[in-house]
Amino acid sequence: MKFEYKKRPPVLIANRGEIAIRVARTAKMLGFPTVAVYSDADRFSEHVKFCDQAVHIGGSEPKLSYLLGEKIIEAARRTGARYIHPGYGFLSERAHFVEACEKAGLVFVGPSADSMRVMGDKIEARATVDRLKMPRVPGSPGAVKDAKEAAEFAERVKYPVLLKATAGGGGKGMRRVDSAAEIAAAFESASREALTAFGDGAMYVEKYILEPHHVEIQVFGDGKGGAVHLGERECSIQRRHQKVWEESPAPILEQYPETRGKMFEAAIKVASGIKYAGAGTFEFIVDGAGDFYFLEMNTRLQVEHPVTEWVTGVDLVAWQLLLAAGELKLPSQDSITRTGASVEVRIYAEDPQTFLPAPGKMGRIVQPNGPFLRWDSSYETATTNAGEVSMFYDPMIAKLSVWGQSRDEAVARMRVALDELSIEAPKSASGDVKGSLKTNVVFLQRLTRTPDVLKGNTTTDLIPRNEALVLDPAADASEEMAIALSLLRLTEGAEDATALEGGAVRGSLWSQTARLEGRK
């Protein structure tokens, strides 16, 4: 692809935080003026300062601002924006928003509404991959009407199974069930959580794969039936069903190169078959024997896209913007090469024992530096007051990614970078520590020294398998329970808070987290 800077129409970024800055940076590089939108809570945020224009769109809660498509479209009209880039989350996978943009004469930077409906809805996606003969995890063909029907499918595919919400993601509305005795309570809890989070309590049943590796294939389509892949990422290291460590290439596929090739073929076949446009990700489970099963497709840019950019040298946002502008000619598959290895970690304001959100004010951030290192954040580092992690949004502080000539080198570089990183508690004007701050930095530092991580033995149960190495079993979380309960009610629904409230505080802290997920 030939790079060309020239004056282009403005792009409005319908998001916040680090992804808004990341999109704006590439947009400016290409000559697109940038428009930010912001809520009450984000009035002084870095993404507002970074963009060329900024428009206030409402209250702090997402439903009063970032989820209001009509306000975002009005902001585009007022500022003369031609394109709307959704980032990820919020409206990025809402087909009705794509149609509203088109009706308003705006260009949505992403797939068509039809593609989004086909692959964004988990049940429709399963039907599509069945038609195109992509392997998927055994389970119910669609939503089940109640716990009794869920139990019937569970008996067919054999326990353990996963109950999963048909809408949404991020681990919400998901429960592992190991026996028939557990399924009724798990169904009710997961359905309630999904209804709270997504406005839809519909559930389906899926076989739980033992020794699972979470592997995803990055694709990019031209909307006309052409598509290429940009390799894979492994995202198996997760807490509470949410990714915390991502890397490319996938360690499990280094053992099974034939599986890698089959996964590439399957992803391209589906992306081409639905005439997909833009960046998208096919998510799979790969078992210990190298067999793979389709999980879902994310019809947007992924949080972990930097690791793909590191190993391919491709700016995925540049491709997105140029495709939307009608200026991108999709390169041939052979011209896309991958070099070395990359690792990304997500740095959160959260309790490192329970992984519950811990929003609040930060003091100084000492950012790591060095070759082949990337820091994506919307918080200031050249100040004694880096800002506040809001209770209204995801508590991610930053993404830290690195590249190395080999996986060993990339992990070693990440270990050094995390050891350099410091996020201090806020201080008063006199210099006294003011309040407290919890992050997962020490937890991530421990991960870089864990033998299973170093060996690439990265199944999705890595954290509970290595609890003694990555968590501090001597820590007492009892003093934090009241705060955790209130935050959990805000972020995940009251039913999870009830589960925590009813559980014993003492004992394994991983078990407390597992109880929140509906596990034994």
Tokens 């790079």 sit on residue: 3
H or E element that contains 15: none
Rounded Cα distance, 369 and 379, in Å: 16
Catalytic residue among 136, 175, 300, 413: 300
| Nearest Cα residue to 407 out of 337, 336, 307, 301 | 307
Backbone angles phi, psi at 447, to 5 degrees: -60, -40
**Three-state secondary structure call for residue 105:** coil
Three-point CA angle 24, 248, 110, nearest 5°: 40
Which residue type occupies 4?
E
* Bridge-based pairing state of the strands 161-165 and 203-207: antiparallel
Tokens of 273: 């078959």
Residues 6 or more apart whose Cβ sits within 8 Å of residue 208: 159, 160, 161, 162, 176
Chain centroid offset of residue 246 CA: 10
Rounded Cα distance, 392 and 44, in Å: 15
Chain centroid offset of residue 233 CA: 12
- For 330-385, the DSSP string reads PPPGGG----SEEEEEEEESB-TTT--B--EEE--EE----TTEEEEESS-SSSS-
**Whether 515 is catalytic:** no
Three-point CA angle 189, 190, 196, nearest 5°: 90
Going by the DSSP 8-state scheme, the letter that residue 262 receives in this structure is H
Quickly count: other Cβ atoms within 10 Å of residue 141's Cβ: 12
Residues classed as catalytic: 300
